Structure 1
Amino acid sequence: MSFKHFILQPLAIAFIGFSASAAADVTITFPTDVEMLAVNSEKPEMNGGVFASTKSITLPDGENQIVFRYTPVFHEGGERNAVNTNAIITKFTVSNTELTLEVPQYRSADNAKEFDKNPTWKLVDDKGNPVDVKQDKLIKNGVQLGRQYDTESVAYNKKGGIAAIIPASTAANIQVPVNSQYKTTEEQMLHYWYDKADKETKQRFIQSIIQVK
């Protein structure tokens, strides 16, 4: 090995390590009784083997959206009773962290059906703190077999539900209606996004303005 290669090799390794740390991402680990159905309007790519006790997905930093379903199985009276809850669609914003999706533990199939009425799951970060999420149910009437949750996510986002996200490419092409009461484009956009926000977001926005004044 030449002196040049002797010097450059560790530098290259260090650069690769720096690049990997700079391109941080988000990992969500979840138990086997959680079925991941869609990730950012695409079919999920799972980490972990078929017989692994937990599985995980990797997401980019920033705002993300996942669709999942809680599917616990109970052995009662010699029978195997599986529960398939409604699909949950949720969005959250985090960066460079490892999350764990936690679901409640029920003692029977009948009790587990209560999850649809009160979905008390949560995302917990690597410090044990719950992550703020917006959640909704992704409902489809009629036949449930063969559902395309990635396509349904796209349709849900277009409707603008509480857990909807807007891709950057779509947001860039949003046409704000022209209204003579607005003096600038910025003012139009401000009113546009305010109208689309949920009640809690509007209250926080108003409070921040009051504090500035």
Structure 2
Amino acid sequence: MKLIKPLSFLLAMVFSTVAMAKVTITVPDTVEMLAVNSASPELEGGMFSANKTLTLPNGENQIVFKYAPYFAKGKDRVTVESQAIIAKFNAKDTKLNFEFSKFNSLSKAQKNINSLEWSLVDQSGHKLDIQQDRLIKKGMQIGRNYPQEAQNYNTKGGVAAIVTPLTLTQRALKQGDLKQMQGKNTAEEMLHFWYAKADAATKARFKHYVEQH
């Protein structure tokens, strides 16, 4: 139990600091955000807003989304939906916008939607370096749990995989009392994970805390 209290203290202290530093992504109504860092996305904006805003911490992040442009067909509006895209990228203190390849017709979108080209562009017009993959599930598609699928993807280690606090926490919970696992100390791994994300002031406060205890 002695380990849990300092660990909880660090997580709370570092997370509060990380939350202050942020990246924002403008999410258009043609993008369905499905998961963010293995969790359900929290978007800001009205239900009928043309654009919503996604706020992320600085550093490495992972998103899962579908692109769904729409086209007029007579009096109807037809939507063409891509497969679920999972992607990771690094960004800091910036605003990002999606850019997608243009489809001039419904038939071209239906034919090429799953080979679309897209990017995240910062305020200076620079495209971020992105690693991406498809999050594919065979069989029934209704009721998919995308946050869980993303977590499973990260555990297996695909090209767009990241290490999340959830991954480390799950390992810790499996340990029960955070005792050292064979060959790996998960509590120490969690400390390193959050310490690396902290700013200089937070690191200094943590060092002072450790020295006093």
TM-score interval for Structure 1 and Structure 2 normalised by the shorter chain: 0.5 to 0.7
Match status 1:104 vs 2:101: yes
Deviation at 1:81, TM superposition (A): 1.7
**Pick from 137, 147, 150: which aligns with 1:153?**
150
Contact 2:38 2:164 in 1 (8 A): no
Tell which has more relative contact order, 1 or 2 (C-alpha 8 A, sep 6+).
Answer: 2
Kindly tell me: are residues 33 and 169 of structure 1, through their superposed partners in 2, closer, same or farther at Cα, counting changes over 3 Å? closer
Contact 2:24 2:53 in 1 (8 A): yes
Matched residues, percent identical? 47
Partner of 1:7: none
Normalised by the size of structure 2, how large is the TM-score?
A: 0.67
Partner of 1:82: 79
SS of the aligned residue for 2:161 comes to: coil
Structure 1 gaps, min length 5:
1-18, 179-213
Partner of 1:94: 91
Once residues 40 and 20 of structure 2 are traced to their aligned partners in structure 1, the CA distance between those partners, rounded to angstroms, is: 22
Partner of 1:192: none
Contact 2:26 2:52 in 1 (8 A): yes
Once residues 24 and 42 of structure 1 are traced to their aligned partners in structure 2, the CA distance between those partners, rounded to angstroms, is: 19
Structure 1 stretches of 4+ moved >6 Å: 171-178
Once residues 132 and 41 of structure 2 are traced to their aligned partners in structure 1, the CA distance between those partners, rounded to angstroms, is: 18
Match status 1:35 vs 2:32: yes
Partner of 2:21: 24
SS of the aligned residue for 1:92 comes to: strand
Deviations 1:143-171 (A, max 9, x none): 11111100100010011000000125746
Partner of 1:70: 67
Deviations 1:61-103 (A, max 9, x none): 1100000101111112333321111000000011111111112
Kindly tell me: are residues 38 and 177 of structure 1, through their superposed partners in 2, closer, same or farther at Cα, counting changes over 3 Å? same
Partner of 1:115: 113
Partner of 2:193: none
Partner of 1:136: 133
Once residues 119 and 164 of structure 1 are traced to their aligned partners in structure 2, the CA distance between those partners, rounded to angstroms, is: 21
**Equivalenced residues, count:** 159
Partner of 2:202: none
Partner of 1:10: none
Structure 2 gaps, min length 5:
1-15, 173-180, 185-213
SS of the aligned residue for 1:115 comes to: helix
Kindly tell me: are residues 97 and 176 of structure 1, through their superposed partners in 2, closer, same or farther at Cα, counting changes over 3 Å? farther
The structure number with the bigger radius of gyration is: 1
Contact 2:154 2:163 in 1 (8 A): yes
**Pick from 56, 59, 74: which aligns with 1:59?**
56
Deviation at 1:131, TM superposition (A): 0.4
Kindly tell me: are residues 106 and 140 of structure 1, through their superposed partners in 2, closer, same or farther at Cα, counting changes over 3 Å? same
Match status 1:44 vs 2:41: yes
Instruction: Give the AA of the match of 2:132.
Output: Q
Instruction: Give the AA of the match of 1:95.
Output: K
Partner of 1:194: none
SS of the aligned residue for 2:88 comes to: strand
Normalised by the size of structure 1, how large is the TM-score?
A: 0.67
